[in-house]
Amino acid sequence: MDMHKYLDIAPEVAQAIAQGRPVVALESTIISHGMPYPQNVETALNVERIVRENGAVPATIAIIGGRLKAGLSPEQIEYFGKKGQAITKASRRDLAVLCARGMDGATTVTTTMIIAHMAGIRFFATGGIGGVHRGAETTMDISADLEELGQTPVMVVCAGAKSILDLGLTLEYLETKGVPVIGYGTDELPAFYTRRSGFGVDYRVDSPEELARIFKAHNDLGLKGGMLVTDPIPEEYAMPKEVIDQAIDQALAECKAQAIHGKQTTPFLLARVAELTGGDSLASNIRLVYNNATLAAKTAAAYCQE
């Protein structure tokens, strides 16, 4: 079985992997679905620059013309940003169809992990992960991100789970899947726009070097699955919990009233929250991605020195 016949690794990324140098994967849904143009392109290019400044090679992941891409050119990032939501949001279930039909796909946390692992990349920085949606006990709406974390050995650095989710159930699900949830400099699960959620993490770690040692042991032990590192949004960009909660409650009510479900849910909710908070949440979103890219690059660099 040759899944690599569908995979293109950018020359710079391939060289870094071959030489055992640090590489950090970045997703493309944040470009196409996470932000409006041109902020999406600007943010994506800045994230790549931040990864480089912190000692690693960036590999933005996407599907273009049915090819799985590990590493995009600035022109390809611009193409994704301009095409925006016209690009299919691709989860695990979509990969085979997109490859067979020669289509484009924006990679979620799930598909970024899959393609990163295929390419030999162990670290991935993103904004927030998906999780168990509120009301999942009746809708069964659970993000494929959690399932992927349970089976694909990539460290995912994020700002926690988006507060539009049921955070308690998300943590329970991760525990069932055997995924360690680590708080970077915190004992509490961050909730994307806010630093606190009221839910504890499994372990607190205070340095990229220790994160690297733990992930090294995880891989040496042959433990199936990934590791989730939750890095709180920097204090100066965090939003007041009550402001964000109020916006989320309103967005959730509108989502239900308009019968929006499935893969449309998260983009709708994030866009409405951004509107309801006067764009403050978009600024926060950009800052937390930069913060996570910094930590992922430092951890990847430390891992390569172990």
> Number of C-alpha atoms within 13 angstroms, CB side, residue 159?
28
Tokens of 254: 């509108």
Distance CA 5, CA 3 (A): 5
The angle formed by the CA atoms of residues 122, 124 and 127, to the nearest 5 degrees, is: 165
CA dihedral 166, 167, 168, 173 (to 10 degrees): 90
Going from the C-alpha of 35 to that of each of 28, 119, 156, the distances in angstroms are: 11, 27, 21
Is 5 one of the annotated active-site residues of the chain?
no
Residue of 27, 48, 78, 148 marked catalytic: 27
Indicate the angle between helix axes 208-220 and 280-305, nearest 10 degrees.
60
Q: Counting Cβ atoms within 10 Å, is residue 121 exposed (0-12), middle (13-18) or buried (19+)? A: buried
Active site residue 27: yes
- Listed in sequence order, the residues at least 6 apart from 248 whose beta carbon sits closer than 8 Å to its beta carbon are 163, 164, 269, 273
Please identify which of the residues 78, 89, 148, 162 carries the catalytic annotation. 162
The answer to whether 77 and 45 are in contact (CB under 8 A) is: yes
Task: Decide: 166 and 174 in contact? Cβ < 8 Å.
Answer: no
By annotation, the residues acting in catalysis are: 27, 162
